[in-house]
A and B are shown apart, each in its own frame.
Chain A
Amino acid sequence: MAKRIFILLVLAVAVSLWPPSEPQAGDLLLAKVTVPKPAKGKGERCVDDTDFMRRNHMNLLDHQRDETVHSGDRTKRYSLKRCIDCHAVNGEDGAPVTADNPKHFCRTCHDYAAVRVDCFQCHASRPAPGGTAERSVGKSDVAALQSYLRELQQ
């Protein structure tokens, strides 16, 4: 009889502990490591869907770099220069931060994933001071284009 009561007791304890109140593996991670929240870039959307870019940006950049260096492809869609221009994050002094700063767009995720990027050993990690890396179109450019078009019409 005592044996039966003991088994019932054990069962009762087991049932009371189910479902386990201990946090699950995912919850543990969430509690200890902050999930990265990369800063929003300029403009409405990225050059491609965000999900696609998250998974494939490295392949796009890798492909673009070979095309640029070897074949002189200067298109801007997937160029690192464009990434840097749109995804610049300003620091406390109001100037865009370099990749030395953990707030840098690339670092927010790469630190989390423990993947080191070596792009910035050679490439600038922020837009050129006093303007974006890509030269913006100014009034003089528009005037030059207009005069050129006028010449064409004559």
Chain B
Amino acid sequence: MTTRRQFLRNTGAFTATLTGGATLIAFAETQAKSDTGGRKTRWGLLIDVARCPDGCSTCVSACSEENGWGDTGNRLTDAQWIRKVMVTDPQSKLSRSLPVMCQHCAEPPCVDVCPTGASFKRADGIVLVDKHICIGCRYCMMACPYKARSFIHEPLQDQKSHAPRGKGTVESCTLCVHRVDLGRLPACVEACAAAGHDAMLFGDINDPESEISKRIAQHPVRKIRADLGTDPGVSYENL
């Protein structure tokens, strides 16, 4: 039988362990901050809609080629990481064509609803699906206001080695995380520039000295469904 003294002693030891853990976490946080000079990187995109021609889908095909998704003959269920969307003002009838992909929200609803923790936001703001944990419940697809996520219905083979994809998991634009980690630009941005449109700009939106931040500060930009408070990392200029 445990005496009152023993019980108290055990509880004391437990509290001490907890305190130790808390100290460790606090230390880890300070170290992460000092690595980036107290500022956290947040990758984002700025899309100049005025430079995005109607009918051009260079970014879409570049993404499809880079990440290995595309037409499998099932139009209704095929994966679509990025799509060209036509928006029309109901009053002025002014139309604009723009690419819409995962908006890499600061407050991503897909992460909020994920029951397994597969949907997550990286430290640099890129929202991803950890397919090792994804159970394919598709809650995130329901939660995403941008319709950015797709579910894979068919078994696949010979995927791109940098973009693993498999049946039964959800996927979306990764902001070409495999390229970003190596200091390269996302495939869509590169292709848009190569096609001479230069409508897409990639950079660190938390760095006031980056080109993207300067452009955002100097020009009026809009975010899709800003009213939802998701704080997207993708901004649109001239929309």
Contacts and interface: CB of A to CB of B under 8 A. Distances in A.
Given A72-B177, A122-B166, A65 B132 contact: yes
A125 B159 CA distance: 9
A124 B177 contact: no
A125 B156 CA distance: 11
A27 B166 CA distance: 42
Given A70-B122, A70-B130, A81-B161, A121 B182 contact: no
A129 interface: yes
B159 A122 contact: yes
Interface residues of A, number: 21
Most chain A CB neighbours (cut-off 10 Å) among B122, B132, B161: B161
A84 interface: yes
Nearest to B169: A122
Given A69-B130, A74-B181, A124 B169 contact: no
Given A65-B132, A69-B128, A69-B130, A124 B158 contact: yes
B32 to A, nearest CB: 11
Interface string B144-187: 00000000000111111110111111000000011011100000
Contact of B160 (A121, A124, A126): A124
Interface in B113-136: 120, 122-124, 128, 130-132
Nearest to B118: A69
A128 B68 CA distance: 12
Interface string A49-84: 000000000000000011001111010000001001
Contacts of A123: 159, 161, 164, 166
Contact of A72 (B122, B158, B168): B122
B189 to A, nearest CB: 18
A74 B167 contact: no
Interface of B: 120, 122-124, 128, 130-132, 155-162, 164-169, 177-178, 180-182
Contacts of B165: 122
Interface in A109-154: 121-129, 133-134
Contacts of B157: 98, 124-125
Contacts of B155: 121
A51 B165 CA distance: 31
3 closest A-B pairs by beta carbon, nearest first, are A122-B166, A133-B161, A122-B164
A8 B180 CA distance: 85
A128 B161 contact: yes
A8 B122 CA distance: 82
A69 B117 CA distance: 13
Nearest to B166: A122
A64 B10 CA distance: 37
